[in-house]
Amino acid sequence: MNTTRIGPSLLAADFARLAEDIGRVERGGADFLHLDVMDGHFVPNISFGLPVVAAVRQTTRLELDTHLMLQNPLPFIGPFKEAGADSLVVHVELESTQAVLDAIRQHGLQCGLAVNPNTPVSALYPYLDELDSALVMSVEPGFGGQAFQPAALDKIRDLCAEIERRGLDIPVGIDGGVQPGNAADCRRAGAQCLVAGSAVFNSPDPARVIANLRG
């Protein structure tokens, strides 16, 4: 059975028809929605926040995988849980990584940790025992529609090898520029969760794209 999970990135949706777009990808077989929350400080862009997450929660039964690209996510963990997030993904590049992971756990949420392209994947290793998922960024976070960086594939291989060496069960995801043309490479490298924005939401046939991504 194919265990690859596909998470369309909401950043690529048409926000004027958000409920309709979410319905399209949900009917098309999406496994979860990936919600990129940006503060204009940790990344050079601003996206959306708590009201949009709460509105999306009312629109879909899909898991809301909420990616907090925030300079200081700690005060927002409780509010994002209340808004309907199922899992929170934060970045290993934060100065307060351990405190944030502890808080996510305390709030009973699934806990993910992401690593940026310029950060060695080994930065995730000290936290692996505490994670429900790990996310390798294959673009610089902040903007959708960027070109895929193939160097992320080596990071995934190394990360999967370390997870296996420790006997852990942590799904590894990849986020950024993922589309049907590189999805097979991502899966072969070991990625189990593929986050794809433009490839899914910009397609007239999301079901076909999602099936191609899943392989």
Domain boundaries, the chain: 5-214
The predicted structure's pLDDT at residue 2: 60
Enzyme catalytic residues: 36, 175
Separation CA 67–CA 59 (nearest Å):
19
The strand pairing partners of 195, in sequence order, are: 7, 175
CA–centroid distance for 102 within its chain = 19
pLDDT of residue 65: 98
How does pLDDT run across 31-83, given as a tens digit for each residue? Answer: 999 999 999 999 999 999 999 999 999 999 999 999 999 999 999 999 999 99
The DSSP 8-state label assigned to residue 78 in this structure reads H
Mean pLDDT of the chain: 96
One DSSP character per residue, 162-215 reads HHHHTT----EEEESS--HHHHHHHHHHT--EEEESHHHHTSS-HHHHHHHHH-
pTM, two decimals, is: 0.96
Query: CATH topology for 5-214?
Result: TIM Barrel (3.20.20)
The parts of the chain modelled with pLDDT lower than 70 are: 1-2, 144
pLDDT of 1 reads 43
CB of 127 closer than 8 Å to CB of 134: no
